[in-house]
Structure 1
Amino acid sequence: MSSRAERLTALRGWLQERGLSGFYLPRTDEFGSEYLPANAERAAWLTGFTGSAAVVVVLTEKAAVFSDGRYTVQLAAEVDPELFERRHLVEEPPSAWIAARVQPKARIGYDPMLMRRAEIARLRSALEPVQGELVALDTNPLDEVWIDRPGPPKAPVSLQDELYAGEPSAAKRGRIGGEVAEKGADALFVTAADSIAWLLNIRGRDIPFNPLCLSHLLLETDGRCRWFVDPDKLPTGFRLDNAVAVEPPSALAAALADQKGRRVFVDTTLVHEGYLLKLEAAGARLVTGDDPIVRAKARKNAREIDGAIAAQLRDGAAVSRFLAWVDAQPVGSIDELAAAERLLAYRQADPLFRGESFPAISAYGPNASLPHYRCSPETNRPLSGGALYLIDSGGQYQDATTDITRTVAVGAVPDEMKTHFTLVLKGHIAIDQALFPRGTTGAQIDALARLALWRHGLDFDHGTGHGIGAYLCVHEGPARISKAGNVPLEPGMILSNEPGFYKSGAYGIRIENLLLVEEKPAPVGAERAILGFRTLTLCPIDRRLIQLPLLSIDEIAWIDAYHARVLTSLRPLLSGPEAAWLEMNCARLGPA
């Protein structure tokens, strides 16, 4: 079944045989992963769309793919408009699109293993005016019609040494189990792969870019747990402590059925509806709230912070080597794909490197105006000069996860680009220098990144920063710096600082460093404890794009101090032309 049209026809036939008017398909898997294993790429198989955010709706006569503003161009390039309408996930939610197009009493199927309870409630509410019915399916129809669907991943699991984890698994389990007991529950059910990886001090390779093993876990309040994992993933000699009972995935159904009369804690923003239905059917009492693992994982311990500092140093050296190489190439002699490959090669020289933390965004000229551009042979551009090159990339290292963006000039560029670059840099500095009381959320400081742009009638449509894991996911909750970031920032959290500006069809700018939240000395007369940031990322910011008249004396001082630190830190790791490049690019802006 090779064509998208044939696949869509087969799905509609399956639905018609069961008296269904349509099917609702979010792009996710049963674990809620951001990056998916091959067997869970149902949306991509059906529609051709490979973006990370998508909902697909198939009705009897119409179908649509929904994504957000990051992927407008990618939707147009990958999705056949003869088969699927291409819609904006926020401006026209799928639930509203369905309600406006279905007949009264329509029956819309969904896979409860792929949806959260709140999503289902919103969809059900939207169907009420047309007396529509949501039907929870026992099987996903895509799995039935996808004849050559790959099998589930079976990559080997490894232990994350306590040298990097900083705390034994038993201590983590005991502490989290105690929090579960305080919430009035008997056990915690976990499906998020990064939470399980952190709790057990394990890492895997089941999905691209994130070192995770897809599995399930039941944690008791005394720290004992049952880990449901494919035994083929466990290498010979793999051992956890005796309080971890390792069981095959086939044992999970019986384990959930055994929860009758017990109070099981679940985070309904993470655990999908199918599991909740199984627990409720078994007679378990659900205790709902925020999974305590999520916040504990976000607050890095001393050893994890040391790892982040060490990895950022090595990663900064690799990115600096790369930028020196880019500057040394004749204009127009390299392209986006070649540049990304060269950067990967520099990172691969590190013995602790374990892979990229996400697909590198290597974007020149108009391609950089797409915040989540993905380079391909069809879109690949040479770095031909007179424009900006944006490289957003990161690495997974045994001791940390990195994420860095630099925007650099290729040849002489117009003053407009320099102006916008400097405005973005002002926002970056404002976040870096922010001081705030405990309890402050990312939403409260997000505006600092935008003020300079706002004064010029400009803005950017993505968040300013996301949390980042410790050799885990490059996008980690619960905290973020964005208009919707409602979680207080706490010491030990590591977040990105990445304001940007994008001129459609022309160029894009983003400057990204990683920041550690830490306590700061209280000013004289302070009545509250004060937090702030420590910059972890070490790599020059392109001085050629900075317009000094737009900067304050304090902002110039910040840039000079940052570059002095970069120079002192990276100079021992570079030599020859690379060291000379570093010296030149860390030179002072202000008076000596």
Structure 2
Amino acid sequence: MVEAGADTCTRSPTATATATASFFVSYLERRGRTLDLSFPIRNGGGSTRRSAVADGVPSTPLDAFIVPSEDNHQSEYVSDRDKRRAFVSGFTGSAGLALITMTEALLWTDGRYFLQATQQLSDRWKLMRIMEDPNVENWISDNLPSDAAVELTRGVYLLKWLKNGHKLQKKKRQKLVHLSVNLVDEIWKDRPAADIQPVHIQPFKFAGRAVADKLKDLREKLLKEKADGIIVTALDEVSWLYNIRGNDVSYCPVVHAYAIVKSDSAFLYVDKRKLSQEVESSLEESGIEVREYSTVDSDVSLLASGKLNSSVANVYHNQALVPRENVVNSEDIQKEVHSQAKSQKFGSIQIPAALLCIQD
């Protein structure tokens, strides 16, 4: 458990909230609109919508947008670069979710952080106490108009939000939408640069099992599930599976990376600048092809179509790239990889498993 106030952001909460407010105001004012609120998205009570997007980005009508705490890998503890919710709200606790509408800015967090949130949130924000106040899904349904469009920060949405989107659509024709860009990143002008930390191979005497043995067991599970491949997104699970370690998240020995494993091939998606020639050669000797981190989306699509091939002899947020009928959300495989990862000294990392299996 993390003590309240233990997390830090690269900016003070007050400066963060003030800067964020001015960014959103300036975007809409450059379109000839005069605004009184920090986070204007929609005209109150009207059908005319306003768009909070950066110059040069196609305008998308929104009624509200959601900024979760998690990164692309659904990690609770994230790098400074991924602290989007902290940047938007000024609240630096590890757990929380921000919802911003035309007239309100709300933040949900749990009991660990109630006191910290009251100290860090400005008077423009309303604290929503988890287990005491309505959850975000019910709040959207009860307070936003029918046919409302709610943007969910690109790259960090969970499977549960896809399910919630169906519920909102069915109940009030409300819908979750995804812009082609990450809205927060567009306005975060001094966002910390990616930290290039070296990747290390975990020695066998500490890993306890060779990568080849782990891949063999995983492929047996895939065969049992009649699945062609699996996408691993949780950082601790990727690190465990390929016996790699890093320092991309403070106090967590993990690497920002994805893994895809097929019956005849395995891939690691990582910023190659983090790999020495020795490390990359070691991975290739284990039958792992290293590809750039940014290519995972396109490779997920190739995997779904049966066209992902290796030159070497799930993702919740990538589910939209794969036809629904081709997705198997296998609890057996998920539990296997997750439990094995936790047993390898990753028990203190609260990162949910994120696995998808792809059928032919």
Which category describes the TM-score, using the shorter chain as reference length? 0.7 to 0.9
Give the structure with higher Rg (CA): 1
Is 1:93 equivalent to 2:93 in the alignment? no
**Partner SS for 2:144:** coil
* CA RMSD after TM alignment: 2.7
Q: How does 1:236-385 map to 2 (within 5 A)?
A: 236-238=277-279, 239-240=282-283, 241-262=285-306, 271-273=315-317, 275-280=318-323, 285-290=326-331, 292=333, 294-296=335-337, 298-299=339-340
Aligned to 2:267: 226
Aligned to 2:57: none
More displaced 10-residue stretch of structure 1: 137-146 or 125-134: 125-134
TM-score (ref. length: structure 1): 0.48
Q: How does 1:72-471 map to 2 (within 5 A)?
A: 72-80=114-122, 82-91=123-132, 92-126=134-168, 128-222=170-264, 224-238=265-279, 239-240=282-283, 241-262=285-306, 271-273=315-317, 275-280=318-323, 285-290=326-331, 292=333, 294-296=335-337, 298-299=339-340, 469-471=343-345
Paired positions, count: 302
1:128 is displaced (CA, Å) by: 4.6
1:143–1:254 distance in 2 versus 1, CA, 3 Å: same
Query: Contact 2:234 / 2:352 at 8 angstroms: preserved in 1?
Result: no
Residue identity in the other structure for 1:470: Q
Aligned to 1:56: 98
Query: Contact 2:197 / 2:274 at 8 angstroms: preserved in 1?
Result: yes
Higher relative contact order (CA 8 A, sep 6+): 2
Query: Contact 1:109 / 1:136 at 8 angstroms: preserved in 2?
Result: yes
Rounded Cα–Cα distance in structure 2 between residues aligned with 1:161 and 1:294: 25
Query: Contact 2:63 / 2:148 at 8 angstroms: preserved in 1?
Result: yes
**Partner SS for 2:322:** helix
Question: Unpaired runs of 5+ in structure 2?
Answer: 1-10, 29-40, 42-49, 52-59, 309-313, 354-360
1:186 is displaced (CA, Å) by: 0.6
1:289 is displaced (CA, Å) by: 1.4
Query: Contact 2:68 / 2:153 at 8 angstroms: preserved in 1?
Result: no
**Partner SS for 2:146:** coil
**Partner SS for 2:315:** coil
Query: Contact 2:154 / 2:179 at 8 angstroms: preserved in 1?
Result: yes
Percent identity over paired residues: 23
TM-score (ref. length: structure 2): 0.76
Rounded Cα–Cα distance in structure 2 between residues aligned with 1:93 and 1:127: 17
Rounded Cα–Cα distance in structure 1 between residues aligned with 2:86 and 2:351: 25
Q: Deviations over 1:325-361 (max 9, x none)?
A: xxxxxxxxxxxxxxxxxxxxxxxxxxxxxxxxxxxxx
Query: Contact 1:56 / 1:63 at 8 angstroms: preserved in 2?
Result: yes
Relative to total residues, which structure has the larger strand share, 1 or 2? 1
1:260–1:98 distance in 2 versus 1, CA, 3 Å: closer
Question: Unpaired runs of 5+ in structure 1?
Answer: 265-269, 301-467, 480-592
1:127–1:61 distance in 2 versus 1, CA, 3 Å: farther
- Structure 1: 4+ residue segments shifted above 6 A: none
Q: Deviations over 1:282-326 (max 9, x none)?
A: x982122126264345258xxxxxxxxxxxxxxxxxxxxxxxxxx
1:129 is displaced (CA, Å) by: 4.2
Rounded Cα–Cα distance in structure 1 between residues aligned with 2:96 and 2:89: 10
